[in-house]
Structure formats: C-alpha cells, structure tokens
Amino acid sequence: MIEYKNVKKVYGDGETAVTAVNDVSFKIAQGEIVVFLGPSGCGKTTLLRMTNKLESISGGTISVGGRNIREIDPVRLRRSMGYVIQQIGLFPNKTIFDNIAMVPRVLKWDRARIKERVGKLMELVKLDPELYSSRYPVELSGGQQQRIGVARALAADPDILLMDEPFGAIDPINRDKIQDEFMRLQARLKKTIAFVSHDIHEAIKMADKIAIFRGGRLVQYDTPEVILTQPKNKFVSDFVGADRALKVLNLIRARDAMNKNPKNILRADTPCPEAMKFFSEKSRTSAIVIRDDKPIGYVTPRLVKFEEGPVSDVAEPYQVFVEDDEPLRDVLSSMLMDSMTTYPVVDENGSFKGSITYQNIQKKILELYEDDTD
C-alpha cells in the first residue's frame, strides 16, 4: 500500500520557485493499479519519482506499507519496488539474462536461484529463455525490450511496481497487445502499481482507479467508470473527451448488459410450424436457435414459413459470437457492421449465457449516467 499525504514538491526557491506537486493526498490500495493521468507538466511523473526517492520530497509524507519513506535508505527502498520507464533503459552492454539478473545479483542471490528466477520471468513475459537469454537488448524489438524491462523490474519479486509511461514508445498495435499481456500478468501477480500515463484509453483499460492531475494538484481520484460518467469539473470532462460515453463502452462487459433470460429462444428440434406460431403469438421477428446449450444460429418468420422440418435445418448461422467478457464497444461495433440487432452471448466454452441487443446497451449506459444527475 502506498499513501500520499499532503505531498508537495517545489523546485528552486524564492521568486523562481516552481511547485510541481501541490498538497496531494490519496492512497493506493494493496494489489490495485492506479493510473496517474494528466497533461504533461501536471506533476504525475514527479509524484511517481518521489515515491522511490528519485526526487526529494519538499513537504508532506509518502508512506509505503505503513512506513514513512523518509526513514528508508533510498537504495533499499528502490530495491523493494520495481521501476519501469518509457525509454525502457535496458543496459546495452549486458545480455537479456544479465539485465534481468541485475537486482538479484546486487541482492547476492546464489547462482542457481538467479538462473531459475530469470527463466521463470522470461516465460512470464512470453520470451523463450533458450532463445533470448544470451541476446543483447539491441537485437530485440521495442515491444520485446519492454517485456524484458517489466521482467527486470519484477526480478526480486517486489510488492510495488512504479511504471512511468511504460508502453508509450511502443507502436499502437503492439502496445495494445503488451497492455493485454500485462493485465493478464497482473491478474496473477496482484502487485500494487502506480502507473503514469497521458493516454486516457490506456488509463481506462488498465486502472482500478485513476488519479487525474492538473498543475500539480489532484483533481479527481476515482474508478474509471465514475471518472467517465461523473467527471468532477470541466477540466476532467474535457480531458476524458467528448466521446466519454463511448469510452465507457470499453469498461462494460457484455455480461453486464446482456439479457440473461431472453424469451426469443427456440430449441433446435422445434418444428418450423411451431416456430411460426411462436413468432405470431409473441409478435417476435427473430429467435435464437439453441442446441445442447449452444447457440447454432437464428431464424426469422421468413425462414420458417412453409417449412416442415426442425428449425435447425433452416437456421442462419451467426457470423459472430459475443463472449461474455467482451467490451460493449466491440459488441456495438459488430452490430453496426453486420447490421444485426441481436447477438447470443456465450462463455469461453461456447455455452449460451444470454442475448444482447442495442437496447440492452443503451439501457446500461443510461443507468450509469443516471447516477450523474443524483
């Protein structure tokens, strides 16, 4: 756990003094990712660098695990935290192995333990130790280098990670991938992470909580959902963007918006005339066809009209299945592209969980914004 209490950072003195961080107080809970977000010069990076004493503290206190860091030797403090920076900073004169082994060596671990640890970390960040251990940083791509940067930071298994725009220099496609990988890693490791970013998309994707800074002050500290749906002031709403409703769609999973007990489902062996009756009685225009708990397609009155056999014979297969953890943004995008109005939602085994329509999505968004007016 990291706690900031009235933290202040002033550069210079007298008339030329510049306050980079001004009276900032908040807590980062154990196992959470908090993204420090804001425009450049807002003090987010300074605050991060104060956390491992790369910058001195002008006022207030920062405590880590309940201890005031003023009382901890900087070198020891830093060894208890991982540090990842945008420029990656792998040592070009050392092999990948030696880069990762840096901190364990400083801590005087024995050889066998270091070797085992480095191998494990490389597998964790999905780089084959056999293939990459003896290579040099310059032989790796930017994305691979930053994976090693993360592995190096995790080497001595610190509880805390400080990350300063770690994925900022990586091209957009690989950035998305490395972010996903990092989130999977974090789901297992549960580190306490302070993460500096100026990218609202990244913040929404990664953060348990977002701390928005402006001119050295903390403007709002909340979960991404609350930041998007209830921005505290114009600065925050401008910063998160006019399309914040669309951004919220990234945060909500299909399972949160879907209809769990849809009425318009038909078993695969339902005869077509019966389906026709179902359509006219319930005045439905389509139905999902289910066989053995799995959706196999859909039927419409036009498809079953004049048919005699089971609906499975005439069902149109779905081009896209929505997985229950898919963000609503992707679901909506599929709907727009395929001009489909209803999708079945499945879990990772392909079992039917519910259905999702445009109305479901809209209803969910409205629900969130209703809190706004309270």
Q: Is the Cβ–Cβ distance between 213 and 37 less than 8 Å?
A: yes
Residue with tokens 């009756």: 277
Q: What is the DSSP string of 181-234?
A: HHHHHHHHH--EEEEEES-HHHHHHH-SEEEEEETTEEEEEE-HHHHHHS-SSH
- Least Å distance between CB 136 and another protein? 3
**What is the Cα–Cα distance from 342 to 14, expressed in whole angstroms?**
65
- Least Å distance between CB 83 and another protein? 3
By C-beta, is 144 or 357 nearer to another protein?
A: 144
Amino acid identity, residue 339? S
- Least Å distance between CB 19 and another protein? 23
Q: Which residues are near another protein by CB under 8 A?
A: 52, 54, 75-80, 83, 85, 87-95, 102-103, 106, 136-139, 149, 152-153, 162
Q: What is the DSSP letter of 105?
A: H
By C-beta, is 75 or 173 nearer to another protein?
A: 75
Q: Is the Cβ–Cβ distance between 207 and 227 less than 8 Å?
A: no
Q: Is the Cβ–Cβ distance between 352 and 294 less than 8 Å?
A: yes
Question: Which two structure tokens, joined as six digits, stand for 1?
Answer: 């756990």
**What is the Cα–Cα distance from 144 to 132, expressed in whole angstroms?**
10
By C-beta, is 94 or 232 nearer to another protein?
A: 94
- Least Å distance between CB 241 and another protein? 30
- Least Å distance between CB 211 and another protein? 20
By C-beta, is 11 or 91 nearer to another protein?
A: 91
3-class DSSP state for residue 57? coil
**What is the Cα–Cα distance from 50 to 57, expressed in whole angstroms?**
6
Question: Which two structure tokens, joined as six digits, stand for 202?
Answer: 């990244």
- Least Å distance between CB 97 and another protein? 12
By C-beta, is 158 or 354 nearer to another protein?
A: 158
Greatest Cα pair distance in the chain: 90
- Least Å distance between CB 231 and another protein? 33
By C-beta, is 87 or 359 nearer to another protein?
A: 87
- Least Å distance between CB 93 and another protein? 4
Amino acid identity, residue 85? I
By C-beta, is 95 or 250 nearer to another protein?
A: 95
Spacing of C-alpha 178 from chain mean position: 11
Residue with tokens 């319930």: 282
By C-beta, is 77 or 210 nearer to another protein?
A: 77
By C-beta, is 95 or 174 nearer to another protein?
A: 95
3-class DSSP state for residue 341? coil
Q: What is the DSSP letter of 318?
A: P
- Least Å distance between CB 252 and another protein? 36
**What is the Cα–Cα distance from 123 to 201, expressed in whole angstroms?**
28
Instruction: Pick the closest to residue 245 from 219, 222, 227 (CA basis).
Output: 227
By C-beta, is 54 or 226 nearer to another protein?
A: 54
Amino acid identity, residue 342? T
3-class DSSP state for residue 344? strand
- Least Å distance between CB 107 and another protein? 9
